[in-house]
Amino acid sequence: MRPETAAALFDMSRAAERIAEVMYGVTLEGFRSQWIIQSAVERQFEILGEALVRAREFERPIYE
């Protein structure tokens, strides 16, 4: 695995952990009513998605 891929996987893992941390103990109603929590979770999903795209680009020769 390339170092860049490992870094992207780390970024994905960290984003997922942050989502879990932010959402711990938050109900669906709490999530819906708190824009700051929504924004934090949304940003972490963006980071996760961006890292996924990077990982796919780094490893493209493997799966093509």
Tokens coding 43: 């940003």
Tokens coding 32: 């819906």
Per-residue pLDDT of the chain in tens (64 residues, 90 and over written 9): 889 999 999 999 999 999 999 999 999 999 999 999 999 999 999 999 999 999 998 887 666 5
SS3 of residue 64 by DSSP: coil
Residue 52: CA atoms inside 13 Å, Cβ hemisphere, count? 8
Residues found in the chain: 64
> How high is the pLDDT of residue 15?
99
Domain boundaries defined on the chain: 3-63
Global model pTM greater than 0.75:
yes
Helix, strand, coil content of the chain in percent (nearest 5): 90, 0, 10
